[in-house]
Structure 1
Amino acid sequence: MGANGSSYPHSCSPRIGGNTQAQQTFIGTSSYSQQGYGWESKLYSLEHGHERPADRKKKSLGLATLKRRFIKRRKSSRSADHARQMRELLSGWDVRDTNALVEEYEGTAALKELSFQASLARAEAPSLHRDLAALYQHKYCTDVDLIFQSTCFPAHRAILAARCPFFKTLLSSSPVYGAEVLMDIDTAGIDVRMFSALLHYLYTGEFGVGGAEDTRLQNVDVLVQLSEEFGTPNSLEADMKGLFDYMCYYDALLSFSSDSEMIESCNERGAVAAAPTGGSGASGAPETPEEDLRAHKAILSARSPFFRNLLQRRIRTGEEITERTLHTHTRIVLDESIIPRKYVQVILHCMYTDVVDLGLVLRGSPSACSLGEVQALVSGGRGASTRTEEAMELYHIALFLEFSMLAQGCEDIIIESLSLDSLVPILKWSSQPYGSKWVHRQAMHFLCEEFSQVVTSDVLYELSKEHLLSAIQSDYLQASEQDILKYVVKWGEQQLIKRMADREPNLLSGTAHSVNKRGVKRRDLDVEELKEILSPLLPFIRTEHILPPNSDVLSDALKRGLISTPPSDMLPTAEGGKSNAWLRQKNAGIYVRPRLFSPYVEEAKSVLDEMMVEQTDLVRLRLVRMSNVPDTLYMVNNAVPQCCHMINHQQMAGGSGTAPSVVANEIPVPPLSVVKDMIRRLHELRHTEQVQRAYALNCGEGATVSYELQLRVLREFGLADGATELLQNPSKFFPDERFGDESPILALRQVGRCRVNSSPAMDSMITELEGVAGFHPPLPPP
């Protein structure tokens, strides 16, 4: 039900699923089209008598179709207006200026793609295979010892029995906790290393990497003999799902309480269940109290550091020996105010399968949760929790348990539910310190992409100033500057009306004379207070790019004093002419990129194509576009690490004093091996064709491209965005290390085939003329 979207190489592929189609999706499916997020439900309710869904659909079909036609007509009309305005702007331009504008748009588009990939990046969540591999390596909570050729292999009874029929039969004859089982294997040629590789395969479903035993296990004859003796296991996912369903050989019980003192006492003393384990066998275990949930300590410790530390602490206190002696299960008492019982089945299911299934939530369970403020934040006082609210609450539980797979699954569920109705609650939640930064980035991307729809709905007035400010600062906001100015002023007027309503006496509140009832006329609004509300926002509206230039919206804002300085292209320059704020070369002041507004971009490309057909000879004369910056200034000294685009050589050469242990005064410096992996990943990204093109299209702004790459790498490795200095100047933190001598030059560029800031239309024209003119312009690196 999701869309395939985590396109960056380090994305995880966990899954969310369930028995019903309405409740399942896949973790890691976080991309979306520009048309919006989410989906349309195909389920129908039969609560209204015996009326069939098809009958009701026919009744509403005419009105719905008419409504869609009006919406489509209105959207196409608005898009046509924007295209007409851009065409009128370009009507007096020559082909060189039009091409320069298209080049600017293409550079911004390349940056947008890099920015989007960076926003999708997040650390890879450890999968079930990876956690079980670590479990086999570190031997947490083992309950059986396999003796093979005088070598002891601590293992987990439940995993071996679920994965292999041979071990299921063998271990059923030795049900005692901590039993030693002698292994007698008939297959010839199996030694200690090969037996260890076989166990590793049972835990992970994969043969170990490297080593002679791997080569032998890949031999067909050996595999056939092993399958005849041990049986052929199913996939790891299927066997672990069966282990979750039947809970064979379970050795832990999860209980719930609201008494914090009793919880601490029980977990410290290692309180145990009263039922003995001796009769568990292969078919399950004895009956347990209905309120307790069964689990395996091996899975709990493998998937969650919280449970691992809890169980390890009990081992250090000697409670494990007591349990082995009494043959009893370990009871773990959970605080229901932190981990509500209604979510535990979802948590366990994800631990065993990597699948988040909200259909397992016990919605009738009256759990008292300290995270109820999340529901209050997003529900607005409604009683029942929605799927999104449950995912938000479960996300916090996943962070508490340090269970990344569950946390990322909840993030993806939240994003799949993203729509105009849920946008503001999700933005509010994700903006909080306890919210998800990854969800916030996706929600802000949705706001920028769907801004034209947001501003024409009541959602606009629910946006906070911070979120609106972040949106209008973006180069990728999908709205014209005129609409941005118009609706930002409307938003400010609505905020002023709210202030006036809050200031009125309580006697008038709710009466016919209140502000909310009688309304407020525009002339009654205090312009000075309105300017104070809008003062953080208006500087980021690019008035120089408002179309048409004689816009009534702009004139009204100037008359009211909301904007004190008219656009620069309305003022004469020192040379007596007028500047052009759309072009970098003809701008009078500080240049600001025009936003990547799709109707403008498409129309500019269309106009350029028409010009180039009409003015082929003129294009031939103006093909050469040399860089304003000498080529030598692009070159980077070979001593500069390949991870940096620009770096301070004095800092590299300094090396005096002790290397700092934190980045940005709060982020611990990761180990050297991690930093080298990050730099290697950055080098790999920089040499991709997409990034090379972004450097070429943004000549002179390579630092911006590098910054997007650095953000992406930091997020893939789970570090905060503030740690960019770690990649910009790694020698500051590891002065004795060298991080590579290759300078960040576009190695993949082919001389004569790639050009700075070349548009598709211009490329096609160059291709046609090269055969005649033999023209190959030089290309400086960014």
Structure 2
Amino acid sequence: MGANVSSSGEKASPTCNPPTASSSKGNIIAKSPPSDLMKIKKRKHSGFATLRRKIIRHYKRLSKSLDHARAIRDLISTWNSSELSTLVQEYEQLAVLKELTIQADLARPPAPSAKQDLSDLYDYKFCADVELVFQRAVFPAHRAILSARCPYFRRLLAAHPGRGARVTIDAAAAAAPGMRAATFSALLRGLYTGDFAAAGGEDADVLARLSDEFGTPNALDGDLQELLEGAGESGDVVLLFSANSQEFRCHRAILAARSLFFRNLLARRARAEGDAATATTTRIVLDENVIPRRYALVLLHSLYVDAVDLSCVLRAATEPDVKPKTPQLAIDEAMEVHQIGRFLDLAILSQGSEDIIIENLNTDNMLSVLRWASQPHGSDWVYRQAMHFLREEFVSIANSPVLYDMEQHLLMEALKSDYLQASELEVLTAVIKWGEQQLMKQIEEREPNLLSHTAHSVSKKGVKKRDLSDRELREILSDIIGYVRLEHVIPTTSDILNNAIRRGLISRPPLHMLGDELGERVNPWLAGQQGGVYKRPRLFTPYMDEVKAALEERLGEGVAPSSQCRVRMSHIPDTLYMLEDKECQQYYADLPSSQRLPLAVDIIAGDIPVPDLDTVQAMTKRESDLHQLTSVQRALACGDRRAVHHEIKLRVVREFGLPDMVADVLSNVGQLHHEEEPKERRSAAQMRVPVQKVAPELIAASTLVMEDSYSLSAEASGCSHDSSYSDVMPDIAMAARSLSQISIGEASPTATLDLGDGNIHVPAFL
């Protein structure tokens, strides 16, 4: 079927041979001159050799880029067991810290469930449309909830139609003569929440006897599903869209319970109608430019069922129904649904759409998700998950065209992480590729030709790498090349690294290429053995596994490196962090309000909320609970304690829905460690702190704590200032204070102060 046909109709041969040549290979050689024969042999041999060299070169290049185990094995082949153990400890510290970082990135305020919202609906009586009278006690309730949950109330309320009806309950008292008003209230709460176990003692027995009269309720989610399906007949609210007259019926009680937007809207409507609010149906017109009609069923489904189902999206007759949906289509729809959830203050809708976005995240749509999430209308939670995906899949992204479209700040943020899953050689290669592509774009943008895509235009011919200027490329990479940890590029004799240095893309070669002045060998992988500022190696899984395996081989079978994990402190202690000592925190909590950090500062711009006392206490309890977890205890034993505390605080702050910068403020001020504050300080804790003024005020507050702690401890112990102060701060922190005590030259017997008023003042401390 696919054979060639000649003009005469006969099938032609797939290959076209010269008419004078025979079809056999031998005849061709025999009829060829000797010189031609040698050329043929040479050409065939050279072509095969060239192909063979290309294959071998590609295989070597591929094996070098993928054989991370061999690269790290060659590096550590000359290390002793102590050096291997140190590197393993560094990897284990990063591993436990990465686990806490992932948990902090996943943290977000839990979306209230239908059970929680209906419990609040019963407690606060939002938009109640019926009043139940039992033993002269009035219970505002919601007709739709009681009718869906209990056959007895369905029959009773059907006999009393109308909004705001008052119904007297007698049957319940006849069925259970000993029932009190509190028991009846517990019964109603159980119908709203599906939890009848809250009532105990006699109330539980009474509720059990009422099952014959009221009927045993079904599961709450099942009744809400039936309520949604029957909303077309029993619904008392009609949703309309400005661009279409199609109606969507639902229930006032569900809208008021689940969405603050609808609750306020219904409350305003009720106040406007006043006593005339007897209509059983409320009409709400929504702007389709804000809430598209196509997502109406998605919205109602999430209100009743606590789930976001994009299969409920309404499509126009001309719009094709895509089944299954592509990841990009699902993400686009989820982004729009997320906006609707934020506008309606419906957390279950917003968080459900966030989950859909992350479920459909892949290499192709990662950049669009990151761009959307970084917008003010985006999602911080989605941004954190997408950045985690970028760090984990960096190698595959670096080998795809997605790398060329990545913004510089995204690439820089990924390279800052200690958990980037790529070797430094792969990172360096990706950075150079990205820079070259950016330079090509710049050359095309400044093309001087007025007619593009012509034979002589740059866009037509394309830009070759040999045409790129190393000086311009160095300027493009100047801000990002510093995030490549060149000291950890292996093999150290890599052509990529050497070429980058030769081209001037790297201003300063790695330390292991230079050595120190004494000519001693430096090891940039180990803390304390580097010639400059130490950069810890990334937690690259292939490297970590191989180093652990090598150490086990050195030490023998059955020896776990994790048992040797020790806490390694920084060479220069962070003196401000050491103020988190319990004694300093307790002293700071007992300071009078006039000496504490002033929180009542005028709000100018960039301010952040400071939680009230109840929220702080809840955050304190949550942080205390997290510190009891096994993973946290292990991290505190093996990792950087300051980083562990920061990740825990960050997780707590995110779980309470506060900005990340609140964790830094509370961490430095020490608010999260206080058990309880006096009531007179409550007003100060409810103020707001401008972001721009946090750092200077924290430093001033920390200095106040250090100085006062030093004075009090010195007076209480009766010891010298140096000994008392060294108990609070390390020796290196005393350097600045010790300089003031050094006598240089002749000191006057009495120090005086001249304030310019003509008088001589003697300082009080002399």
Question: 1:193 corresponds to which residue?
Answer: 182
355-364 or 664-673, larger mean C-alpha shift: 664-673
Matched, 1:707 2:646: yes
Q: Could you tell me how far 1:523 is from its partner in structure 2?
A: 2.1
Match of 1:168 in 2: 154
2:140 pairs with 1:178: no
| 1:636 Cα deviation from its structure 2 partner | 6.0
Is this contact kept in 1: 2:88–2:544, CA < 8 A?
Answer: yes
Distance 1:75 1:399, change over 3 A: farther
Residue in structure 2 matched with residue 353 of structure 1 by the alignment: 305
The 5 Å alignment of 1:576-725 reads 576-613=519-556, 637-641=581-585, 654-655=595-596, 657=598, 659=600, 665-698=606-639, 701-725=640-664
| C-alpha separation in 1, matches of 2:467 and 2:620 | 59
- Residue 214 of structure 1: SS of its match in structure 2? coil
Deviation at 1:607, TM superposition (A): 0.9
Matches within 5 A, 1:547-586: 547-586=490-529
SS in 2 for 1:419: coil
| Structure 1 residue aligned with 2:696 | none
Alpha-carbon distance, 1:383 to partner: 13
> Cα deviations across residues 442-499 of structure 1 (Å, max 9, x unaligned)?
0000010011111111111121111111111111111110111011101111111111
Residues 733/120 of structure 1: CA separation in 2 closer, same or farther (3 Å cut): closer
CA distance in structure 1 between the partners assigned to 2:513 and 2:590 by the alignment: 44
Letter paired with 1:299: I
Q: Is the 2:328–2:365 Cα contact (8 Å) retained in structure 1?
A: no
Q: Is the 8 A contact 1:86 1:547 kept in 2?
A: yes
Q: Aligned to 1:174, what secondary structure does the other structure show?
A: coil
With over 3 angstroms needed to count, the CA separation of the structure-2 counterparts of 1:225 and 1:306, relative to structure 1, is: same
CA drift of 1:320 comes to: 4.7
1:229 is aligned with what amino acid?
E
Judge which range, 661-670 or 689-698, deviates more.
661-670
Is 1:250 the counterpart of 2:260 in the alignment? Answer: no
Instruction: Work out whether residues 112 and 348 of structure 2, in 8 Å CA contact, stay in contact via their aligned partners in 1.
Output: yes
Structure 1 residue 315 corresponds to structure 2 residue 270? yes
Q: Select the structure that is richer in helix.
A: 2
Q: Contact 1:123 / 1:715 at 8 angstroms: preserved in 2? A: yes
Report the equivalent of 1:379. none
Residues 256 and 336 in structure 1, CA contact (< 8 A), matched pair in contact too: yes
Change (3 A) 1:110 1:652: farther
Q: Does 1:158 align with 2:148?
A: no
Partner Cα distance (2:390, 2:593) in 1: 41
> 1:297: which partner in 2?
252
Contact 1:253 1:295 in 2 (8 A): yes
Q: By how many angstroms is 1:708 displaced?
A: 1.0
After TM superposition, which residue ranges in structure 1, 4 or more long, deviate above 4 angstroms?
73-80, 382-385, 622-636, 647-653, 656-665, 729-739
The alpha carbon displacement at 1:656 in A equals: 6.3
Q: 2:367 is aligned with what amino acid?
A: V
State the 1:177 CA deviation. 2.1
CA distance in 1, matches of 2:333, 2:281: 31
The Cα of 1:665 is off from its aligned counterpart by 4.9
Aligned pair 1:203/2:192, yes or no?
Answer: yes
Distance 1:357 1:350 in 2: 8
Aligned AA (1:353): V
Residue pair 1:570, 1:578 contacting (<8 A) in 2 also:
no
How far apart, CA to CA, are the structure 2 residues paired with 1:651 and 1:94? 57
Residues 653/92 of structure 1: CA separation in 2 closer, same or farther (3 Å cut):
farther
Q: Is the 8 A contact 1:130 1:204 kept in 2?
A: yes
Q: How has the CA–CA distance of structure 1 residues 78 and 551 changed in structure 2, closer, same or farther, with 3 Å as cutoff?
A: closer
What residue number does 2:684 align with? none
After superposition, the Cα gap between the structure-2 partners of 1:216 and 1:663, relative to the gap in structure 1 and judged at 3 Å, is farther
Which amino acid in structure 2 is aligned with residue 300 of structure 1? L
Residue matched to 2:397: 454
Q: 1:342 aligns with which of 294, 299, 302?
A: 294
The equivalent position to 1:727 in structure 2, one of 656, 666, 673, is 666
Which residue of the partner structure matches residue 504 of structure 1? 447
Match of 1:534 in 2: 477
Letter in 1 for 2:226: G
Q: Counterparts of 1:252 and 1:623 in 2: how far apart (Å)?
A: 63
- 1:145 and 1:180 in contact (8 A); partners too: yes
What residue in structure 2 maps to residue 103 of structure 1? 89
- SS of 1:294's equivalent in the other structure is strand
Count of equivalent residues = 606
Pairing of 1:114-513 with structure 2 (within 5 A): 114-184=100-170, 185=172, 186-207=175-196, 209=198, 213-219=199-205, 222-247=206-231, 248-257=233-242, 291-317=246-272, 319-324=273-278, 327-364=279-316, 386-505=329-448, 507-513=450-456
What is the distance in 2 between the residues matched to 1:649 and 1:561? 58
User: Given the superposition, is the C-alpha separation of residues 511 and 429 from structure 1 closer, same or farther in structure 2, using an over 3 Å criterion?
Assistant: farther
Change (3 A) 1:648 1:586: farther
Root-mean-square deviation (Å) = 3.4
Which structure has the bigger radius of gyration?
A: 2
Aligned match of 2:700? none
| Aligned residue number for residue 463 of structure 2 | 520
Structure 1 residue 431 displacement after superposition? 1.5
| Within-5 A mapping of 1:751-766 | none
Q: Cα gap change, 1:171/1:628 in structure 2, threshold over 3 Å: closer, same or farther? A: closer
1:480-520 C-alpha deviation (Å, 9 max, x unpaired): 10111011101111111111112224643334544343222
Distance in 1 (alpha carbons) for counterparts of 2:410 and 2:136: 66
Structure 1 residues 300, 134: CA separation in 2 closer, same or farther (over 3 Å shift)?
A: same
Distance 1:366 1:199, change over 3 A: farther
Give the secondary-structure state (helix, strand or coil) at the position aligned to 1:420.
Answer: coil
In 2, Cα distance between equivalents of 1:364 and 1:623: 62
Cα distance in 1, alignment partners of residues 501 and 446 from structure 2? 29
- What SS is found at the alignment partner of 2:548? helix
Does structure 2 conserve the Cα–Cα contact (< 8 Å) formed by 1:257 and 1:333?
Answer: yes
Q: What does the per-residue CA deviation read over 1:151-206, in whole Å, with 9 as the maximum and x for residues that have no partner?
A: 11111111100000111111111112221111111123211000000000000111
Percentage of matched positions with identical amino acids: 46
Consecutive unaligned residues of structure 1, counting only runs of 5 or more, are 1-72, 259-288, 368-381, 740-782
- 1:514–1:679 Cα change, 3 Å: farther
Per-residue Cα deviation, 1:109-142 (whole angstroms, up to 9, x for no partner): 1111111110000011111011111111111111
2:744 corresponds to: none
Hey, what's the Cα distance between the residues in 2 that align with 1:306 and 1:136? 18
